[in-house]
Amino acid sequence: MKAQQAGQALKLEQIPNIGPAMVGDFERLGIDQPAQLVGADPLLLYRRLCEVTGMRHDPCVLDTFISAVRFMEGAPPHPWWHYTAERKLRHPDL
């Protein structure tokens, strides 16, 4: 079941928008607990993931990282695409 508030997310997969593939991405980055996302830089996570895997990931991965970090920092749950316009504005190269 997905958490409705950050304090309810005890496992990564309980964070809204996070499924098995994204859990695997977080684990590749050394993140295995939701609390580790507090204060994280979603763009840095995205760039590190691209570096670690040796490939450029779809920008929606960055949107999902933004949604997860924001949720764990206290924002209400939003679908990952809620952050697409912000990403395009802040990072037009992605």
Report the distance separating Cα 33 and Cα 68, nearest Å: 12
Q: What are 14's two structure tokens?
A: 């309980």
Q: Could you tell me the residue ranges of all domains in the chain?
A: 6-90
Stated pTM of the model: 0.96
Determine the pLDDT at residue 33: 98
As averages over each run of 10 residues, the pLDDT of the chain (94 residues) reads 96 98 98 98 98 97 98 97 96 92
Asked if 28 and 47 touch (Cβ cutoff 8 Å), the reply is no
- First CA to last CA distance, the chain: 31
Determine the pLDDT at residue 21: 97
